[in-house]
Structure 1
Amino acid sequence: MQQPSEQVPALLDGPAVDVSDADELLLGYLEWYRQALMRKLDGLSDDLLRTPVEPLGWSPLGLVQHLGWVERRWLRWGFGAQDVVAYPPGDDAEEWTVAPDTSTARVIAAYQAEVTVANSLTAQAVLTDKARLGGRFKTPDQAPSLGRILFHLLQEYARHVGHLDIARQLIDGQTGE
């Protein structure tokens, strides 16, 4: 029996503790990080969402916009070989900078639309499926498996959600889970 002074270990983030299937783990953790991204925006005003955080140089909403482009590049253009614009016009700063006339709702909706398309592509595939040719990857030896792409996305989200933790601490002192 647990004593009142003993602390119960925190539950694991992501998929259920009994999940061991690689597909379920990768997709489950990717979805957990997508949701964590949205959770970490909770409580920020529109102004705080849009204001670049110093010394980082980007805004929380800019990070969401960037991750929408990342989803597009790796899953639609990369894995699915869809004929889409893979990078915004201009340089890298454009990907991270939300135009003043672009609403917060529009940035979030664009991000969520990319996630929806990404999920539809992964739902019909297995981890060993290779990326289709013609989009990001031109030859069979360049084309990674879906598992490799998902693993890349997972680490990208983990890094950026951690970055957002730092931004929140700088903005309002909130800390991550």
Structure 2
Amino acid sequence: MRAPFPEPGSSADVPALFLTYLDYYRDTVADRVTGLTDEQARSSRLPTGWTRAELVTHLAFMERRWFVWGFLAEPVPDPWGDQVDGRWHAPAGRTLGDLVDALRRGGRRTRAIVEATPLDTPAALGGRFTDPARRPTLAAILFHVLQEYARHAGHLDIVRELIDGRSGE
């Protein structure tokens, strides 16, 4: 059973608050694709054509782009590997379970980064960011990634309802 939606409260531990919400939305994404067949995960019900497998892949790559390649400036293989010709892409041969596992591994890496770093720390130079004046802080990155997860979790709520009537919040 998934945890209930985290209610904001007084919290002096802002990093923990960000991580709680990120975990919630990551779990929501995993929940919205659980039980789908490979065909359901890799076919589209939308005019834009994106699939659930592509969205999960996008979120895993997006999180890695922002925290590992972006914030830490660590080299990563193919940071834009979720996109081909400007469209989302999910690698063939990977199951939906594999894609969700990659999403969760990325979440564990994010947690380790956030728990070890003050929020006002600017991103390192050399990965995604090369201009010292334009590099964001860890707090700004967290905020961006959180809104990205929330937005796409909502997309998955709607698409899942179209598939089998199951709805989210």
Q: TM-score range by the shorter chain?
A: 0.7 to 0.9
Q: Secondary structure at the match of 1:71?
A: helix
1:49 to 2:41 alignment = yes
Deviation of the 1:65 alpha carbon? 0.3
CA–CA distance in structure 1, aligned partners of residues 64 and 92 of structure 2: 23
Letter in 1 for 2:161: Q
- Which of 92, 97, 100 does residue 86 from structure 2 map onto? 92
1:29-108 paired onto structure 2 within 5 Å: 29-84=21-76, 85-88=78-81, 90-93=84-87, 96-108=88-100
Deviation of the 1:17 alpha carbon? 4.4
- Quick one: higher RCO (CA 8 Å, sep 6+), 1 or 2? 2
1:1-177 paired onto structure 2 within 5 Å: 13-14=5-6, 17=9, 19=11, 21-84=13-76, 85-88=78-81, 90-93=84-87, 96-177=88-169
CA–CA distance in structure 2, aligned partners of residues 156 and 47 of structure 1: 25
Moved more, 56-65 or 156-165: 56-65
Q: Deviations over 1:4-48 (max 9, x none)?
A: xxxxxxx97126745453222212111111111111112322221
CA–CA distance in structure 1, aligned partners of residues 143 and 155 of structure 2: 18
Alignment RMSD:
2.1
Q: Secondary structure at the match of 1:39?
A: helix
Q: Secondary structure at the match of 2:74?
A: coil
Q: Secondary structure at the match of 2:84?
A: coil
Q: Percent identity?
A: 38
Asked if the contact 1:15–1:28 (Cα under 8 Å) also holds between the matched residues in 2, the reply is no
CA–CA distance in structure 1, aligned partners of residues 44 and 13 of structure 2: 40
CA–CA distance in structure 1, aligned partners of residues 123 and 92 of structure 2: 36
Q: Are the structure 2 counterparts of residues 25 and 72 from structure 1 closer, same or farther at C-alpha, using a change threshold of 3 Å? A: same
CA–CA distance in structure 1, aligned partners of residues 154 and 107 of structure 2: 20
CA–CA distance in structure 1, aligned partners of residues 11 and 5 of structure 2: 12
Runs (5+) with no aligned partner, structure 1? 1-10
Letter in 2 for 1:173: G
Letter in 2 for 1:125: T
CA–CA distance in structure 2, aligned partners of residues 66 and 110 of structure 1: 11
Query: Could you tell me the TM-score, scaled by structure 2's length?
Result: 0.87
CA–CA distance in structure 2, aligned partners of residues 41 and 30 of structure 1: 17
Asked if the contact 2:23–2:107 (Cα under 8 Å) also holds between the matched residues in 1, the reply is no
